Amino acid sequence: MENGGLNMNIAFFLTPKKEVVCETLESTMRQALERMEYHRYSAIPILDKEGKYIGTLTEGDLLWKLKNTPNLDFNNTPKVKIEEVPRRVINNPVHIDSNIEDLIAKSVNQNFVPVVDDNNVFIGIIKRSDILNYIYENFYNKVKIEA
C-alpha cells in the first residue's frame, strides 16, 4: 500500500443511497422526527427533487425549530416542511473522486460525509465509524503485531 495505505478510492467506504435514510425539503418535521427515531439517527441527509444533496438535518435543528417557533408543538409538526427548519451546521459533501485526505478531514467533525457525483447528485454517505474501523484494522493492528 502506497503512502501508508491512504492512496485508495473513497468509494471503498461508500454506503449507497438506497441504504441511506434521507428526507426531502418537502418532507415534514413529523416525518423526519419519526424516521430519525425509528432508525436511531441523530442526523440525516436532505435531498431536493432532483436527488441533489441540500444539507444535513440534525435532531438539534428540529429541537431549535420547535423551541423558537411560537405555538409549534409536536402535534402540529406535520404542518412544517423541512425547508422551513434552519440548519445550524453545514456538512459539505465530497465528490466521489475526492482523495482520502479530504474525506478524513471532513469526517473529523461529522458522523457521516455525504458523497456526490460530478452533477452534485447524492450517491451515498461515508460513515466516520467505517473509516475509523478501517484504520484500526489495517494500521493499529499491524503496529501492535510489529511491536
Dump pLDDT digits (tens) for 43-90.
999 999 999 999 999 999 999 999 999 999 999 999 999 999 999 988
End-to-end distance of the chain based on CA atoms, in angstroms? 20
- In this predicted structure, what is the pLDDT of residue 147? 53
Closest CA to 79 of 27, 116, 28: 28
103 contacts 10 by C-beta, under 8 angstroms: yes
Distance CA 97, CA 118 (A): 9
Which residue stretches of 10-98 are H helix? 29-39, 59-68
Cell match 502506497: residue? Answer: 2
Kindly indicate whether the domain formed by 2-146 is annotated with CATH number 1.20.1300.10.
no
